[in-house]
Amino acid sequence: EREVEQPRHPSKSAIGLDMGISKLLTTSNSEYIKPKNSFKANQMKLAKLQRQLNRKVLFSQNWKKQNRKIQKLHSHIANIRHDYLHKITTSISKSHAMIACEDLKVANMSKSASGSMENKGRHVKAKSGLNKSILDQGWGMMVDMLEYKQQWRGGLLMKVNPQYTSQTCSECKHIAVDNRQTQSKFECVKCRYVANADFNAARNILAAGHAVLSAEG
């Protein structure tokens, strides 16, 4: 063991991050980072391998061989996602001393909508597709990476309450459901501020991060 000085982050800037499906990240600097979607890119190939597995005798040598192919593809999908997230988080962590992001409960967001035998779920197919997309992004893994990389560099990761970040005007702070005109368009009903909805949310997340930092001293 040896004592080391507390690291000091070389940057003095702060950034807010809004996580999404069509855009993995939207920053408060109006930058957009596309998702990799490694599962979606290999979904057809995986389904084909699994159909071939179903036609084989359970636990036979051919079944085991086919099962190894499926496990290898799953590892390949995970490695692509892991590598991509490492590159993104390293770049963001190096550039900003404070990073603010939503404290999303990914496990709750990706729960099945199928319900029970007595109470059938609604929009099950659409929810299943959304769940796959959420898990394909690797939001939880990305936040974990940002957290320990910020600690390495002496920076901060602020996790803020996601409530109302998409409905609040980042200019006048007016909160209304009608502010979110569409999935991509934000227009404040009070001050008429217009912006991309994800960019507006990223600005609110950054402001919330500053508020938490100020409250904690």
- In tens digits, the chain (217 residues) has pLDDT values of 888 788 999 999 999 999 998 899 999 999 999 999 899 899 999 999 999 999 999 999 999 999 999 999 999 999 999 999 999 999 999 999 999 999 988 655 545 545 544 555 555 554 555 667 778 888 999 999 999 999 999 999 999 999 999 999 999 999 999 999 898 999 999 999 999 999 999 999 999 999 998 887 6
Q: Helices 61-95 and 139-153, interaxial angle, to 10°?
A: 40
User: Residue 31 catalytic?
Assistant: no
**DSSP assignment letter at 59:** T
Half-sphere CA count of 148, side-chain side, radius 13 A: 6
Domain assignment present for residue 190? The answer is no
Domain assignment present for residue 133? The answer is yes
- What six digits make up the tokens of 203? 């600005």
Domain assignment present for residue 167? The answer is no
User: Residue 102 catalytic?
Assistant: yes
- If one counts the domains in the chain, the total is 1
Domain assignment present for residue 181? The answer is no
Domain assignment present for residue 180? The answer is no
Catalytically annotated residue among 3, 18, 144, 187: 18
Catalytically annotated residue among 1, 103, 198, 216: 198
Domain assignment present for residue 91? The answer is yes
Task: Please name the helix (run of DSSP H) or strand (run of DSSP E) that holds residue 168, with its range, or none.
Answer: none
Catalytically annotated residue among 31, 83, 102, 216: 102
Count of beta carbons in the 10 Å neighbourhood of residue 135: 16
List C-alpha distances in Å: 115 to 105, 111, 118, 172, 191: 20, 10, 8, 41, 42
Which residues constitute the domain of residue 80? 14-161
Domain assignment present for residue 55? The answer is yes
Domain assignment present for residue 178? The answer is no
Contact between 15 and 100 under an 8 Å Cβ cutoff? The reply is yes
User: Residue 198 catalytic?
Assistant: yes
